[in-house]
Amino acid sequence: MDAERLVAVLVMLVICSIIHGADAENRHVFLNWEVSYAVRAPLGVAKRVITINGRFPGPLLNLTTNDVAHVNVVNALDEPFLLTWNGLQMRRNSWNDGVAGTNCGIPPGQNWTYVFQAKDEVGSFFYRPSLGLHAAAGGHGPVRVNNRPVVAVPFARPDGGELDVLIGDWYNMETKVRRASPPICSTAVSTIKCTVNVICVWLEQRMREHLDRGRDLPSPDGILINGLGPYQADIRFEPGRTYRLRVSNVGARTSLSFRIQGHKLLLVEAEGTYTQQRHYASLDVHAGQSLSVLVVADQQPRPYYMVVSSLFVQPELFGVANVLYSNSNNSGEQRPPPGRAPLDGASSHNGYGRSMEQARTVRTNLTCGGPRPNPQGSFRYGRINVTRTLLLRNGDDQIAGRRRCTVNGVSFADAATPLKLADRLGVAGVFAVVSGAPEARRRPALGTAVIDARYRDFVQVVFENPLPSLQTWHLDGYSFFVAGMGWGKWTPNARSTYNLVDAIYRSTVQVYPASWTAVFVSLDNEGIWNLRSQDLGRRYLGQETYIRVSQGTSEVPDPRDELPMPSNALLCGKAKPSKLGRA
């Protein structure tokens, strides 16, 4: 074995030994996913979508706390591709986060294997594409992280089982620019396939060109439930049984209201945190958010509807699934008449106040365990001194004659070299460090902005939204305590209104129009982590940044704090094989 291969093997052994630790019970899950295009028409209009192993949505990633996942992604698309794991914390491992600032895209026709551990995590999450506008074309799927058998769950095991419910807005317009001319239908045999291609080409360029002109995405064309249009998806209930529904909003931008006709929703978990249990008639699920509810099939055994409606956009849109009870005489299911869903009682388009009040009722269950047996309330965040406050103000600005979305006046521009690679390999000039606060004299500009933060600091992050539309923010690598929300501009005096006892601990949070949201985060996970808008169009136009969490030295981090660079790391941009000693 030559020296280079020996070094690579030794690095992988170190990584495996650190990930696995001394606990021989850690399970390894090996998956092979092929990412490819397919044509689907969930709303009756043919569109090229992204599938995983031919499925839309993609397959379930089903893990248990501390499992190690090995996900080999084969890219059969005609452009680079990455998956990111929305809500999974990737402890010590931003190398596998799957965004443009940490990873080179997987080239067409090649593969790359993600290796990560669901370390000290439980909950409901999802994966999705992260490059460009891929997320608007599918490629998403559910993620479950289950409790270990030795850790009690704060509710009886649902005797009806668990169901993944992926909801989201849908655009018929295509996401990818294609310059090829549409084919000509010359034979009867090819007419159907050719017609689909013509429709796809007709839709091409619309989404990207729309955004490149500096315009917001229009209202979506509809709402999907598990990749299907209205009245196409079936949810099956057995009378008297209880079901856990893991609900995720995987859409491009739209906040959604989720409800089931005639049934109460008992909220039990939100993005890895068990909640105080409370019944709701409907729940708001903003873009990128996940939650779990328990539903008891305690109604008369007849057809019902699951209704998902858009919030704060016009016209109001509805996704509808059929809820089918099996008959008491076991003769089968009663199917509802199509198009009869009760769409009355729909949420108000202007109900921001109602939505904020509901958000304040979602709180952490302090007495139950989470991924570990110790109570979730053991970490008393309200008693910890804040070492730093970041104030992040989103905006719309004109830069070089075009509208861009900004954070503190900077519109993020992706670099050819992932920031994580540049940082580790000492490649200069790839990104610029910014303060993490608005600067009065700064003119709006493009930039590859990174906020420096010290490992183990306890930081307050204030998201300030002066715009008339709701914003949703997500931080990779972490969850945070959603301590406060309020109208107008944030001031330090707002702390008197914070929830310092049982705030929900999650990774995606909404910021209402002309308002602010304050969160607390303990920076105990070294790496470079993406902080982004969950509005796909706004992120595409620059509303994101990165936070570099480090100990402030130029030395390679201790593997106990951050894992070594994977030996299979893809290189691109200024990150050359020569910098790693590769041939």
Q: Are residues 293 and 400 in the same domain?
A: no
Which range, 12-26, 71-85, 186-200, is most confident? 71-85
Q: Is residue 366 part of a domain?
A: no
**Three-state DSSP class for 308?**
strand
pLDDT band of 201, cuts 50, 70, 90: very low
Sheet holding 83-86, edge to edge: 61-64, 141-146, 123-129, 83-86
pLDDT band of 337, cuts 50, 70, 90: low
Please, is 492 exposed, middle or buried when counting C-beta atoms within 10 Å of its C-beta (0-12, 13-18, 19+)?
exposed
Q: Are residues 424 and 488 in the same domain?
A: yes
Percentage of the chain modeled with pLDDT above 70 = 86
Q: Are residues 490 and 403 in the same domain?
A: yes
Is 60 exceeded by the pLDDT of residue 399?
Answer: yes
| Identity of the residue numbered 464 | E
Is 80 exceeded by the pLDDT of residue 204?
Answer: no
Q: Are residues 246 and 139 in the same domain?
A: no
Contact between 464 and 516 (Cβ < 8 Å): yes
Better-predicted residue by pLDDT, 235 or 176: 235
Q: Are residues 168 and 297 in the same domain?
A: yes
Our separate counts of H helices and E strands in the chain read: 6, 33
The pLDDT value recorded for residue 13 is 44
Q: Is residue 87 part of a domain?
A: yes
Domain count, the chain: 3
Percentage of the chain modeled with pLDDT above 90 = 79
Q: Is residue 358 part of a domain?
A: no
Is 50 exceeded by the pLDDT of residue 1?
Answer: no
Rounded Cα distance between 161 and 244, Å, is 6
Segment among 28-32, 185-189, 210-214, 404-408 with least mean pLDDT: 185-189
Rounded Cα distance between 456 and 551, Å, is 8
Query: Can you give the pTM of this predicted structure?
Result: 0.91
Q: Which residue range is the domain that position 329 belongs to?
A: 153-178+198-335
Tens of pLDDT, residue by residue over 158-200, are 999 999 999 999 999 877 654 444 443 434 434 444 444 444 4
Q: Are residues 256 and 330 in the same domain?
A: yes
CATH number at residue 559: 2.60.40.420
Q: Is residue 417 part of a domain?
A: yes
Rounded Cα distance between 124 and 272, Å, is 6
The pLDDT value recorded for residue 8 is 43
pLDDT band of 26, cuts 50, 70, 90: confident
CB atoms within 10 A of CB 399: 21
Tens of pLDDT, residue by residue over 410-424, are 999 999 999 999 999
CA distances from 436 to 73, 377, 420, 511 (A): 35, 29, 19, 18
The pLDDT value recorded for residue 421 is 96
Q: Are residues 322 and 239 in the same domain?
A: yes
CA angle (241, 242, 245) in 5-degree steps:
135
Q: Is residue 474 part of a domain?
A: yes
Q: Is residue 372 part of a domain?
A: no
Retrieve residue 453's tokens. 């933060």
For the chain, the average pLDDT equals 89
Give me Rg for the CA atoms of the chain.
24
Q: Are residues 329 and 243 in the same domain?
A: yes
Contact between 290 and 283 (Cβ < 8 Å): no
Better-predicted residue by pLDDT, 219 or 183: 219
Q: Are residues 407 and 480 in the same domain?
A: yes
Q: Are residues 130 and 172 in the same domain?
A: no
The pLDDT value recorded for residue 281 is 95
Contact between 310 and 254 (Cβ < 8 Å): yes
Least Cα distance to 43 among 236, 174, 222 occurs for 222
Contact between 542 and 536 (Cβ < 8 Å): no
Rounded Cα distance between 478 and 90, Å, is 8
Q: Is residue 14 part of a domain?
A: no
Rounded Cα distance between 560 and 198, Å, is 54
Q: Are residues 281 and 169 in the same domain?
A: yes
Tens of pLDDT, residue by residue over 89-100, are 999 999 999 999
DSSP characters over 396-426? EEEETTEEEEEETTEEE---SS-HHHHHHHT
Q: Are residues 132 and 274 in the same domain?
A: no
Tens of pLDDT, residue by residue over 416-446, are 999 999 999 999 999 999 999 998 877 999 9
The pLDDT value recorded for residue 340 is 67
